[in-house]
Amino acid sequence: MSSLKKSFACPLIIVSLMLLLAGCIPTIQRMWDAQPVTGTVVDGNTGEPISGATIRSITLAEDPEQTPRTAISNAKGEFTLPGESHIGFHMAMPASYMASTHWKISHPDYPDAVAETRTIAPPTGEQPRNITVPLFAEINASKVQDCPYFHYQQQLAQWLHHLDEEARYPFQDSMLTFCHDSERIEQIFAAQERGNH
């Protein structure tokens, strides 16, 4: 082997060994850029489906170039956001974590609502999510600093006591994700406790 080939081969072998030792394996595989989401928008007081609600992903500050995903609920209150994936060269890593997508739900007859879907990352497989989003007409629509959806989340906390534990799960983290004020967080949980009694 020529000295030139050796000079290229050695670093490649070293890098490959380092990646393998770190648990990173170069692979060609399908990765999900966006997971499929389906759901239903309902009136939180009557349980009736709400048509014409706009479901839009909230672009996070750390990923400003992400294209928002949008859907409109139909006559049954249902909406569908298809998944998006691609096949390419990736570093397969064994470690995983929960990735969140945040959603804003708007309708002209209701104050805005928020929801969250969580999936396992890295997104090597399809993980469909289904959510139910209640809208409440009779809540304060004013914004609260450091807790922009405080009034909605407080109402949601009370609404949750009607659901079983499994049905509550998709909403639990949403109550905190959008709130960074410890006093407000306590008020949200207090509202949920009142709903449970």
The rounded distance, in Å, linking the Cα atoms of 165 and 106 is 26
Residues 124 and 64 both lie in one domain: yes
Identify the pLDDT of residue 26: 60
Identify the pLDDT of residue 64: 55
Identify the pLDDT of residue 5: 47
Count CA atoms closer than 13 A to 13's CA, side-chain side: 6
Residues 72 and 167 both lie in one domain: no
Identify the pLDDT of residue 142: 83
Residues 100 and 193 both lie in one domain: no
Length of the chain: 197
Residues 37 and 79 both lie in one domain: yes
Identify the pLDDT of residue 185: 87
Answer for the pair 52, 107: CB distance below 8 angstroms, yes or no.
yes
By CB neighbour count within 10 A (0-12 exposed, 13-18 middle, 19+ buried), where does 58 fall? Answer: middle
Cβ neighbours around 49 below 10 Å, total:
16
CA 4 to each of CA 1, 10, 11, 17, 166: distance values in angstroms, whole numbers, following the listed order: 8, 10, 12, 21, 61
Residue 38: domain span: 26-137
Q: Does pTM top 0.85 for this prediction?
A: no
Please report whether residue 18 resides in a domain: no
Residues 181 and 106 both lie in one domain: no
pLDDT, one tens digit for every residue, the chain (197 residues) = 555 444 545 554 454 444 444 445 566 655 657 788 999 999 999 999 999 999 999 866 555 556 788 999 999 999 999 877 656 655 555 556 777 888 999 999 999 999 888 877 766 777 888 889 999 998 887 888 888 889 998 898 888 877 777 777 767 666 677 788 889 988 888 876 665 54
Q: Show Cβ contacts of residue 98 under 8 Å, excluding neighbours closer than 6 positions.
A: 118, 119, 120, 121
CATH number of the domain where residue 125 is located? 2.60.40.1120
Identify the pLDDT of residue 161: 79
